[in-house]
Amino acid sequence: MRRFFSRPRRERGAVAIMVAALAIVLFGVAALGVDLASQVNRKHLLKNQLDAAATAAAYYLDTDATGIRDAATNAITYFAKNGQGTLNPSQIDFWCVVGRKLNGDGTPFVVSGGGQVADYQIPSAGQTAGVCNPDPASATTTWKQSEYGNRVRAWDNSHYSMTCNNTLCAVPCALSAGPANNWSPGTSSYNGLPITCNTIRVGASADVPFSFAPVLGIDQGSTGSQIAVACKGVCGAIAPNPMDVVIVADRTLSMTMNPENHDYREDLADGIKGMLKVMTPEQQYVAFGALGPSYLKRSESPETKACSSTAHGLIFPSSNETIASGGSWIPIQFHKDYNTLNAAGVRTLDTTNPLYKAISCLSTTDPPTRTALASPLKSAARYVLNKPGDTNNVSAIGGAGRAGVPRKVIIFETDGQPWENFTTGGSTSLDNSGDIFSNYNDSSTPPATSTFTVDGTVQSGAPSGLSPAPPTSYTNGSKYTYTYKNKSVTTVTAKTTTLFGGQQACKNFQAVAEAAKAAGVLLITVGYATSGLTCSSCNAQPSSCNSPQTPQTTLTGTPSSNGSAWVSDVSPSACRDSSNGKDGSQSKPYGILTSCKQNITVTYSVPMKQNGTVTVQRADDQVITSVLASAASPRDNGSSSDSNGCGSTADITAENADGDFFFCAAKGQDMAPIFITALSQVSKGVKLINMPH
């Protein structure tokens, strides 16, 4: 039978040829797919390599003189250790990434040419603290985008511009640093401070050799340009790690006493609000208290009242209040609703929130109390630790739902010297709920008395009952002049009082701080208006740093006569009779040489007596900045905090960058960046970010 659909003899074998040709294409595509997969894999590996380099490098970004250099060299080193190739220095640049200035409703503040950096982020000519300190565009820069349209990096002529998104701004930083000058960033011509950056960006690309694609004429592919950006510290917002934070702020009268006649409490309030703007309330709960104590306890819900009300939680009483008498050091309980997130992803403070209102009340009243240290710290520690009798509301507002273990943090700010005017007593134990004070007037007076003399002022005029009487050769008026002077010399019988009230207040504060740290609390201390604190001790202000106070003599009663006058000096000395051991003392008064034929002046000392008290400070007095530093938590490496001094701009800059948890604030405007920087250190502070664009 004849077959249907049979192919002509001449077409036989064509299918085989087509299959063979198609197989070549299919194998080529498969080979290209393998090479493309290799290319994609290399791209991912390169991105991981850059992430590792940027993260490792960012840890070195601080205000240390070698911070930029160490970051650059470590970026190169870690890149080489974590993959193939080397990192080109031209692919390393530095930035200052900070919050953008916002309007009151949380929308981006817009100026001509774009955005502007938020207040407190970058040091100004009169503000030493800041998140970072980039190269200024000019001596009058206000950190606007329009000022940074096309900045040139000194060592390779690369061009950079400032960019902003709805919440952040990235300012070009360390444009003078490069391989040619060993990555030295120099100092800012705007504020004279070292140039510092908080963000490093690294980039690289790699060619990927193909194994199979060359048969198609494609020898290699590229990963394309890959970048990684890592920021240290505050990068527009504090990392959302769970924290329970208690803020204790000094609002005593000394905060208003300054040469500028300015109420620093207003700046302090602005600083705390600046910190709240960059926090994550769902994870970071905040409670608040102040010095001195507030009128009502938390249990009486004072935080719902207005500042003008006498029942408000931060209002000062008409007289001193303590815990026992109904007062509270931490009247504002934990809040997690102090800022809100709008549709644009911007956080704005809730001005109706009790926490916000209480902070705004800091400067509304003048307290009758002075600076206390141990009691407010003890109350803050007991509250954050949820001690019986000071039970906090963390569980009630959903604290158990947060991921991880919350850090318990106290930020304690004061302008220094304790001036506790309550009766001395109390316990430093955190298991005891009572106050602890050391009255600043407390002193010890041993029963023994001492006798010493105090030379008075020399005055003209002859004392009564002259002894010895002037020689006749000087009194006949024929030839020589005899001039009288008298000096009051008072013998004081006094008790020596050793003042220790302030010193004990400092020691109590340190003991409470140690107990809090031992219980797991991270303690941040801030010395405010610290130029005066540099040489201020717990008891008084000595004449020079770390030196004992000069003994102060307080005399009582009116001096009374105590015997006859004596010759204590004769001038010129050639006319002085010092024979037989005469030395001008009361027991060995000088004589007057009658053979001296010239004009003379004779000083008669008049003996007096008086009672008095000598007040000295105890030998173990401490400087306030050292007390605050010792109370603060240690650095991450375990070494204790210390005070570098806070008397000058350079001292303050060094102190706030040394990695511990004691900070100096010279003025109110320093407070916001210090609060932000301090709290960011709690969360270790290095993270990968996306640059604003």
What is the secondary structure of 132-195 as a DSSP string?
-B---SSTT---BGGGGSSEE-TTT--EE--EE-SSEEEEEE-TT-SGGGTT---B-TTTSSBP
DSSP H helices in 348-452: 354-360, 374-384
| Secondary structure of residue 671 in the 3-state scheme | helix
Residue 339's closest CA among 270, 398, 278?
Answer: 278
Separation of alpha carbons 321 and 23, rounded Å: 93
pLDDT in the model for residue 161: 94
For 319, half-sphere exposure in the C-beta direction (CA atoms, 13 angstrom radius) is 3
pLDDT in the model for residue 691: 84
The one-character DSSP state at 211 is S
Separation of alpha carbons 292 and 321, rounded Å: 8
The one-character DSSP state at 667 is S
Identify the H or E element spanning 373: none
Q: Right CATH number for 243-442+502-544+619-687 from 2.40.128.20, 3.40.50.410, 3.90.78.10, 3.40.50.11540?
A: 3.40.50.410
Which residues of the chain fall below pLDDT 50? 1-5, 298, 300, 302, 304-306, 308-313, 316-319, 542-548
Q: Kindly report, as residue ranges, where domains of CATH 3.40.50.410 are found in the chain.
A: 243-442+502-544+619-687
pLDDT in the model for residue 309: 46
pLDDT in the model for residue 23: 55
**Distances in whole angstroms, Cα of residue 645 to Cα of each of 467, 547, 662:** 57, 15, 11
pLDDT in the model for residue 308: 46
Per-position DSSP letters for 294-327, written without gaps between them: BSS-GGG-GGGS-TTSTTSTTPPPSS---TTTT-
Strand 243-250 and strand 407-414: pairing?
A: parallel
For 517, half-sphere exposure in the C-beta direction (CA atoms, 13 angstrom radius) is 20
The one-character DSSP state at 532 is T
Contact 150, 137 (CB under 8 A): no
pLDDT in the model for residue 310: 45
